[in-house]
């Protein structure tokens, strides 16, 4: 029987581990909500599920593009449609999980018209300054080159306020109703998991992965400025030592977790303590089957 639910939470909260465990037990498909896992060359920095598990489970949203190709909401929507069609055909559950909850929100809110990004030579700072002046409703960070260029592209193509244009051109949502569960940890325990995860990534070859990426791809690519890789760039450029590298990744990951918690407040969801989440979700799934 097909049905779908979402499993969200901060980075290092264990949501992917939990989704994989449930997928093995109930023969479910998984759609990744992780914006880094789409890239074939980013494995350690994305904390990507190991290849053996990817091969054994029906996984979507992973290893779709090369690092120099851009992943966007429109492509994610297509991947969701593919995952849903596969799960329906095989009478499976579809588990939607990952840390990029912005994608989930877009599935539930609808997609705006796919405008082309600007080819302008304006810097991020210049675009950001223009945006805050004429479109204060737009919430884009200064270092988000892609979304800033996209914002400018809409402005150039329409000569209207981009945030208003996006509302006017929004298409129907792909998901009308969805059960959402958020994995919760006490702050101190999550902090320990972030530290452990960072150490594991360094042990598993994060620096070598970063070196390979920076040697072969444009350093300004958005994917290469993600947490874990951008700090490695400082290390490889000999601006920080390895101890400082580890500390910086931990600080930035902690800040990311805080932003994710804030964003996830937008969802109507059930909060689950990680310790009991597996049993609670098993009960939820079995009730769905019985219903």
Query: For residues 37 and 61, is the Cβ–Cβ distance under 8 A?
Result: yes
Report which DSSP code applies to 172. Answer: P
Quote the tokens at residue 111.
């997609």
Q: What is the pairing mode between strands 58-60 and 29-32?
A: parallel
CB atoms within 10 A of CB 67: 20
CB atoms within 10 A of CB 181: 23
Instruction: Give the whole-angstrom CA distance, residue 245 versus residue 225.
Output: 14
Reading across the β-sheet that carries 179-184, which strands appear in turn?
A: 58-60, 29-32, 93-97, 3-8, 179-184, 270-273
Q: What angle, rounded to 10 degrees, do the helices at 242-264 and 187-203 form? A: 130
Query: What SS3 state is found at 147?
Result: helix
* Binding-site residues from annotation for substrate: 11-16
> What phi and psi, each to the nearest 5 degrees, are found at residue 258?
-65, -45
Provide the residue count of the chain. Answer: 291
* Binding-site residues from annotation for ATP: 9-16
* Binding-site residues from annotation: 9-16
């Amino acid at each position: 029987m097909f049905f779908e639910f979402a499993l969200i939470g901060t980075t290092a909260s264990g949501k992917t581990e939990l989704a994989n465990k449930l997928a093995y037990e109930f023969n479910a498909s998984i759609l990744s909500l992780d914006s880094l896992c789409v890239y074939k060359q980013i494995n350690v920095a994305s904390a990507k599920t190991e290849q053996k598990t990817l091969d054994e489970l029906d996984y979507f949203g992973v290893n779709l593009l090369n690092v120099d190709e851009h992943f966007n909401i429109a492509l994610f929507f297509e991947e969701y449609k593919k995952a849903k069609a596969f799960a329906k055909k095989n009478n499976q559950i579809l588990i939607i999980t990952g840390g990029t909850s912005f994608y989930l929100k877009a599935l539930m809110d609808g997609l705006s018209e796919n405008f082309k990004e600007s080819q302008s030579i304006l810097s991020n700072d210049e675009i950001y300054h223009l945006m805050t002046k004429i479109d204060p409703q737009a919430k884009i960070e200064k270092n988000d080159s892609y979304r800033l260029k996209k914002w400018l592209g809409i402005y150039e193509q329409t000569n209207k306020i981009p945030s208003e244009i996006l509302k006017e051109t929004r298409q129907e949502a792909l998901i009308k109703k969805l059960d959402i569960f958020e994995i919760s940890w006490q702050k101190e325990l999550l902090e320990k998991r972030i530290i452990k995860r960072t150490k594991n990534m360094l042990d598993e070859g994060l620096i070598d992965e970063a070196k390979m990426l920076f040697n072969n791809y444009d350093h300004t690519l958005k994917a290469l400025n993600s947490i874990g890789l951008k700090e490695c760039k400082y290390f490889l450029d000999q601006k920080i030592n390895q101890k400082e590298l580890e500390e910086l990744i931990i600080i930035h990951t902690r800040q990311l977790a805080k932003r994710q918690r804030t964003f996830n407040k937008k969802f109507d969801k059930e909060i689950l303590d990680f310790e009991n989440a597996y049993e609670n979700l098993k009960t939820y799934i079995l009730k769905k089957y019985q219903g």
